[in-house]
């Protein structure tokens, strides 16, 4: 039985980890021995246990919270790979792909058994020459969107090693709000003690500049005076501990307060029941300033939830034929007008609901998983 070891940097569960967790049962069912190396504790370890996937403790961080040096982490990863000797090492992020590339080259040099390295590129960020060189040590590189691939190839990534594989969504978990019961729809209103006439507008993402929380706040300042029933649900947490990240989020909170919008916002932090929340929203607003391939957009589409999103990164690959309302980034007025259009028309919301749901079938996990399994099978045969 061929073996695959997935390498994850963090023990939390965000977009990249959720995409991996959705994929793993299909890879295991295809006959692969699957394990995941990640920090010993955290939500990821818990979720792996729930789906019966072997977890191997590995962390890039010291107990004090300080990160090991790059050389130290490569040495520790080398020892891990020698101990477990997987046929395939799938590094689940750009950072881990950069870390593992030179380790794989060193282990494979002079060895009869060659370990296949697969790096997963889930970010659109500027990289220096050394990082590109390290990534090119991988046998294969997966980009989550064509936009992601094009961006990195322009920086010097080896195009011959690259393939685009989109993320997949479990459509048995995310299903249209139209199929949900009225009682279930009322639960979030009750939890937040909101009047039943309030229209819930969802926003999901890490609280940081890249996701455009400030744009959402500015758009809300336009929407609420014109449509007082609008209520914004923000699901996400701030992970960065940098001073500028803390200041960015605090500034957004302060702007909401000073604008008299405190009663029009609810901050729910991380929610494991995002599928249930989506079935109670009238739309999803995604104000990201850059987005390789927003998983929350795939989940919203599978939920039949109308979407207003910025036209950045891979978003146009998710909605290529006007299945969603796409606006320019950094444009709160344009975002607000699109939100108001949907709020004011049940017919328009229903139309977009049908279109995103039809489009979502392209990202169904069973078909996406077939592409991953095919790639793995080819890798172990070569």
- DSSP-derived secondary structure for 46-72: HHHHHTT-EEEE--SB-TTSPBPPHHH
Listed in sequence order, the DSSP H helices in 201-291 are 213-226, 243-258, 274-278
The predicted pLDDT at position 177 comes to 54
Q: For residue 176, what are its two tokens? A: 């249209």
**Closest by Cα among 173, 226, 194, 228 to 51:** 173
Q: Give the strand pairing for 230-235 and 265-267.
A: parallel
CA–CA dist 323, 352 (Å, integer): 6
Q: In what order do the strands lie in the sheet with 88-91?
A: 54-57, 33-38, 3-7, 88-91, 116-121, 140-143, 162-164
Do residue 290 and residue 230 come from a single domain?
Answer: yes
Do residue 159 and residue 282 come from a single domain?
Answer: no
Do residue 159 and residue 186 come from a single domain?
Answer: no
Q: What radius of gyration, in Å, describes the C-alpha atoms of the chain?
A: 22
CA–CA dist 62, 245 (Å, integer): 23
Which domain range does residue 309 map to? 177-363
Do residue 340 and residue 377 come from a single domain?
Answer: no
Side-chain-side CA neighbours of 224 within 13 Å: the count stands at: 18
The predicted pLDDT at position 170 comes to 93
The predicted pLDDT at position 154 comes to 97
Angle at 282 between CA 291 and CA 187, to 5 degrees: 110
Q: Model pTM?
A: 0.92
Do residue 131 and residue 203 come from a single domain?
Answer: no
Q: Where are the beta strands (DSSP E) in the chain?
A: 3-7, 33-38, 54-57, 88-91, 116-121, 140-143, 162-164, 199-204, 230-235, 265-267, 283-286, 307-310, 325-327
Work out how many domains the chain is built from and give that number. 2
For residue 282, the domain's CATH number is 3.40.50.2000
| Main-chain phi, psi angles of 57, to 5 degrees | -60, 125
Do residue 105 and residue 198 come from a single domain?
Answer: no
Q: For residue 373, what are its two tokens? A: 């399994």
Residues shown for the chain: 382
- Residues 308, 325 contacting (CB under 8 angstroms): yes
Do residue 230 and residue 299 come from a single domain?
Answer: yes
CA–CA dist 201, 109 (Å, integer): 54
282-291 pLDDT tens trace: 999 999 999 9
Do residue 239 and residue 183 come from a single domain?
Answer: yes
CA–CA dist 355, 306 (Å, integer): 9
The predicted pLDDT at position 186 comes to 57
Do residue 252 and residue 132 come from a single domain?
Answer: no
Residues of the chain with pLDDT under 70: 177-186, 382
DSSP class of residue 96 equals H
| Main-chain phi, psi angles of 272, to 5 degrees | -75, -15
**Closest by Cα among 381, 183, 374, 143 to 276:** 183
Task: List for the chain the helix, strand, coil content (%; round to 5).
Answer: 50, 15, 35
129-182 pLDDT tens trace: 999 999 999 999 999 999 999 999 999 999 999 999 999 999 888 887 544 444
Do residue 221 and residue 323 come from a single domain?
Answer: yes
CA–CA dist 288, 124 (Å, integer): 12
Do residue 158 and residue 283 come from a single domain?
Answer: no
The predicted pLDDT at position 34 comes to 98
Do residue 156 and residue 270 come from a single domain?
Answer: no
């Amino acid at each position: 039985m061929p073996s695959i070891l997935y390498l994850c940097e963090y023990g939390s569960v965000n977009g990249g980890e959720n995409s991996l967790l959705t994929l793993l049962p299909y890879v295991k069912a295809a006959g692969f021995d699957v394990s995941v190396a990640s920090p010993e504790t955290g939500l990821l370890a818990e979720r792996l246990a729930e789906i019966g996937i072997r977890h191997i403790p590995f962390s890039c961080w010291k107990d004090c919270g300080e990160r090991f040096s790059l050389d130290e982490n490569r040495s520790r990863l080398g020892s891990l790979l020698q101990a477990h000797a997987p046929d395939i090492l799938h590094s689940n992020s750009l950072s881990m792909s950069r870390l593992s590339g030179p380790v794989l080259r060193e282990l494979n040099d002079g060895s009869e058994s060659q370990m296949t390295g697969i790096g997963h590129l889930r970010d659109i960020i500027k990289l220096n020459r050394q990082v590109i060189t390290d990534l090119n040590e991988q046998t294969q590189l997966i980009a989550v969107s064509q936009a992601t691939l094009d961006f990195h190839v322009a920086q010097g990534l080896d195009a011959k090693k690259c393939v685009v594989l989109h993320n997949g969504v479990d459509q048995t978990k995310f299903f249209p709000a139209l199929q949900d019961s009225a009682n279930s729809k009322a639960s979030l209103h009750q939890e937040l003690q909101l009047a039943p006439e309030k229209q819930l507008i969802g926003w999901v993402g890490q609280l940081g500049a890249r996701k455009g929380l400030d744009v959402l706040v500015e758009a809300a300042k336009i929407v609420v005076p014109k449509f007082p029933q609008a209520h914004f649900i923000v699901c996400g947490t701030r992970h960065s501990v940098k001073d500028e990240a803390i200041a960015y989020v605090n500034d957004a909170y302060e702007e909401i307060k000073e604008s008299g919008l405190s009663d029009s916002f609810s901050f729910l932090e991380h929610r494991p029941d995002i599928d249930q929340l989506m079935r109670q929203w009238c739309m999803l607003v995604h104000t990201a300033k850059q987005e390789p391939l927003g998983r929350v957009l795939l989940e919203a589409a599978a939920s039949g939830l109308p979407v207003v999103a910025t036209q950045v990164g891979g978003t146009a690959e998710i909605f290529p034929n006007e299945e969603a309302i796409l606006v320019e980034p950094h444009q709160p007025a344009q975002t607000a007008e699109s939100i108001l259009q949907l709020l004011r028309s049940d017919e328009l919301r229903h139309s977009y609901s049908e279109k995103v749901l039809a489009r979502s079938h392209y990202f169904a996990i069973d078909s996406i998983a077939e592409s991953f399994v095919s790639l793995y099978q080819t890798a172990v045969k070569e």
